[in-house]
Amino acid sequence: MSEASPAKAYGLHLGVIALLFVLSFLLPEYYHGLLARIMVLAVFATGYNMLFGYVGLLSLGHAMFFAAGLYGAGLAVIHLGWNVPAAFAAGIACGAVLSLAIGLLALRTTGVAFMIVTMMFAQVSYLIILYFATWTGGDQGMVVPQPARILTFGATSLDLTNPTVRYMTALALFSIVLLVTLAIVRSRYGRVLVAIRENEERTKMLGYDTFSNKLAAVVVSGTICAASGAAYALLFGYVGSSFASVQYSILPLLWVLLGGAATTLGPLIGTLFMYYVIDVSSGYTSAYLLIVGVALILLVLFFPKGILGSIRQRWLEWLP
Amino acid sequence: MHFGPHLLLAALEGLVTSAVLALTALGLSLVFGVMRVVNVAHGEFFMLGAVLAWAITTAIGGHPALGFLAALVIAPLIVGAIALVAERLVLRRLNYNPEATIVATIGMLYIIQQLALTFYGPEARPVEPPFSYRILLPWFGYSGYKLSVIATSALLLIATWLVLTRTRIGLVMRSTQYDSETAQAFGIPVGRVYAGVFALGAMLAAIAAVLIVPISQAHYLMGQDPLLLSFIVVIIGGLGSLRGTVVAAVLIGMSDGIISMFFSPTLAKIIATLLVAMVLVFRPQGLFGTASR
């Protein structure tokens, strides 16, 4: 990867954000709503990419971090009556604490064992959600009532159920996360993460504490995923156990692989592409799992680097 | 019923679970051990076995034993053939890279599940047991078929053990597992061994599924639980250890049977999954495995 000038990289990312902003005024209603959802889920994928793409740790348990944010925010609103910012903060805090605990345990293992351990912890949290059905709504889930989703700053109030406000909030969250990950990836710390991915032994030999660097990456990744979950609960008003299932741990892996692992914009492109493929194909068939399955196999066979990863390899070497 | 007979019933039910689990997990363990491939689609091969068993018994009709025996032979063969094709078309091309194969088998999982839903449908369908003899114990009558499942599974496990330890095929498999490059250098067709092991693993899952179908019905989502439980068994038992797999399967099956009879099944699963995750965290080589290479 050759070095890019900061202006070029930040310019590209700000351009993408500006494009998403302009699209808000151009898109028809249906796609407007879809894109808002995609941006929130792209945050989830970005958090996943942080760990999978840049550190090379394949986790199959990230649904639990998304669910930590989702339920952290949702339960705070429904049972404690907290306002939107407090609930959002609660969701993020749940994700941060959970990812710290899981990271401390799961990082004792590597490779395939890490994948299975994260999947098991995620399964435990899924079962816990089902077990405490009185508070979590079990597999029915819960709806966050509309009046609880209004943000008030003194005299002005923002209704998160309003499509425009929802889109802009999703865009704001996505932009912050995108720029933060870009900064992390380009920092010294980001270099250490890539070094761990490429050769952990050598990185250790160079004097870096690889365990605490990886732990920090798990926490950053888990916190970003939790932010996505918390935003999902508050913006779309639904909190459900299906978001904690194994399938929801696999989806971000698919999005990241499709867009290009270890590229900052890959998660957005992957999420966008997959959603549109499913959206278009569901017009013809209800068998969308088949498409997901075939896409996964074709990707891993022919495009192991994903869309943006292949573009970077062939043409734009400076992509971050 | 008193506590004693109650416990006996729970133990018998647990043993049936253990028997089926041991077969399923053995397939996963072989693939995992020899090829270093985590087959996430293993549960779907299990499901496919059950669904095919339903299709075959319905197609044949007549006495239930006739259809059942046909299913016991044909379903695993079909599943094995499908696994063989998948191995040749996908896994070999990925050069058995651990992470790529995980993603690819996740893809297979989705494809098989969707095809089952499309062609078989969402409903659960029963298969009649080949015989409905009840064995009378002093406290309750118990299904003779369930006991025969335990016996069949035990026989198959012993047969697998004999093949692995006493025959040339077993020797070839073990040498590939131990060091595939050296095995290749000594003229062992490693590619063909891998294909065979992958098909064999899928067939073991399919046999287990045919055995369980008369007890629990065929459903297109039935592969998820055995997959997770098999992972648990393989991990607790230690990679590629047959003895460990059997002991772990009995342990998990019995505790699942007994805990879920006296407590909530969800709570039992939470505790079991958490315990196993902790085993993996603090003893990554499993209870019976040797230190990883």
Q: Does A215 touch chain B (CB under 8 A)?
A: no
ipTM over 0.85: no
pLDDT of the residue at A285:
67
The strand pairing partners of A180, in sequence order, are none
pLDDT-derived band at B1, boundaries 50, 70, 90? low
pLDDT-derived band at B157, boundaries 50, 70, 90? very high
Query: DSSP string of B78-104?
Result: HHHHHHHHHIIIIIGGGTT-HHHHHHH
Q: B115–A290: do the CB atoms touch at under 8 Å? A: yes
Q: Does A4 touch chain B (CB under 8 A)?
A: no
Query: In angstroms, what separates the C-alpha of B261 from chain A's closest C-alpha?
Result: 16
Chain B positions in Cβ-Cβ contact with residue A292 (cut-off 8 Å)? 107, 110
Q: A124–B93: do the CB atoms touch at under 8 Å? A: no
**What kind and span of H or E run contains A261?**
none
Of A111, A250, A290, the CB nearest to B106: A250
Q: ∠ at Cα B219 (B215, B220), nearest 5°?
A: 150
The Cα–Cα gap between A144 and A80 comes to 12
What type of residue sits at position A98?
L
Of B38, B90, B115, the CB nearest to A297: B90
For chain B, how many residues are written?
293
3-state secondary structure of A164: helix
Whose tokens are 């087959």? That residue is B39
The Cα–Cα gap between A276 and B177 comes to 43
Give residues with Cβ within 8 angstroms of B259, minimum separation 6.
B267, B268, B271, B272
Query: To the nearest 10°, the Cα dihedral for A294, B199, A250, A181?
Result: -90
Which tokens is A233 given?
Answer: 């609960």
What type of residue sits at position B21?
L
Q: Does A104 touch chain B (CB under 8 A)?
A: no
Rg (CA), chain B: 19
Percent of chain A with pLDDT strictly greater than 70: 97
Which tokens is A122 given?
Answer: 């995620």
Query: In angstroms, what separates the C-alpha of B202 from chain A's closest C-alpha?
Result: 19
pLDDT of the residue at B292:
44
The strand pairing partners of A158, in sequence order, are A151
The strand pairing partners of B124, in sequence order, are none
How many Cα neighbours within 13 Å face the side chain of A182?
21
The Cα–Cα gap between B44 and B56 comes to 18
The Cα–Cα gap between B188 and B170 comes to 12
Q: Which of B130, B177, B162, B171 is nearest to B149 (CA)?
A: B130
Strand A142-143 versus strand B134-136 pairing type:
unpaired
Q: A124–B270: do the CB atoms touch at under 8 Å? A: yes
Query: In angstroms, what separates the C-alpha of A92 from chain B's closest C-alpha?
Result: 24
pLDDT of the residue at B289:
59
pLDDT, mean over chain A: 88
Q: Which of A170, A175, A174 is nearest to A14 (CA)?
A: A175
Select from A297, A299, A302 the residue whose CB has the most chain B CBs within 10 Å, as the one to mutate to test that interface: A297
Select from B110, B260, B276 the residue whose CB has the most chain A CBs within 10 Å, as the one to mutate to test that interface: B110
Of A81-85, B54-58, B77-81, B139-143, minimum mean pLDDT range? B139-143
pLDDT, greater one: A6 or B49: B49
Q: A253–B103: do the CB atoms touch at under 8 Å? A: yes
Q: A297–B107: do the CB atoms touch at under 8 Å? A: yes
pLDDT in tens, A243-287: 998 888 988 988 898 888 888 898 999 999 888 877 777 777 677
Of B94, B117, B270, the CB nearest to A301: B94
Chain A positions in Cβ-Cβ contact with residue B111 (cut-off 8 Å)? 289-290, 293-294, 297
pLDDT in tens, A32-68: 888 999 999 999 999 999 999 899 898 989 999 999 9
Count residue pairs from A and B with Cβ separation < 8 A: 108
pLDDT in tens, B143-152: 888 999 999 9
User: How many other CB atoms are there within 10 angstroms of residue A206's CB atom?
Assistant: 11
Is the pLDDT reported for residue B178 higher than 90? Answer: no
Of B110, B232, B281, the CB nearest to A108: B281
3-state secondary structure of A3: coil
pLDDT-derived band at B291, boundaries 50, 70, 90? very low
Mark out chain B residues that contact chain A at CB-CB < 8 A: 38, 90, 93-94, 98-100, 102-104, 106-115, 117-118, 224, 228, 231-232, 235, 264, 266-267, 269-270, 273-274, 276-278, 280-282, 284
CB A269 within 8 A of CB A260: yes
Of A112-121, A165-174, B48-57, B132-141, minimum mean pLDDT range? B132-141
- Residue of chain B minimizing CA distance to A250: B106
Query: In angstroms, what separates the C-alpha of B223 from chain A's closest C-alpha?
Result: 13
Q: B38–A105: do the CB atoms touch at under 8 Å? A: no
Q: Does A97 touch chain B (CB under 8 A)?
A: no
The Cα–Cα gap between B179 and B73 comes to 33
Q: Does A14 touch chain B (CB under 8 A)?
A: no
For chain A, how many residues are written?
320
User: Please, which residues 108-167 of chain A have a Cβ atom closer than 8 Å to chain B?
Assistant: 108-109, 111-113, 115-117, 119-121, 123-124, 127-128, 130-131
Q: Is A280 exposed, middle or buried (0-12, 13-18, 19+ CB in 10 A)?
A: exposed
Give the E-state strand segments of chain A in sequence order: 142-143, 150-153, 156-159, 238-239
pLDDT-derived band at B293, boundaries 50, 70, 90? very low
CB B253 within 8 A of CB B11: no
The Cα–Cα gap between A200 and A208 comes to 10
pLDDT of the residue at A3:
55
Q: Which of B41, B47, B43, B45 is nearest to B102 (CA)?
A: B41
pLDDT of the residue at B216:
87
pLDDT, greater one: A191 or A292: A191
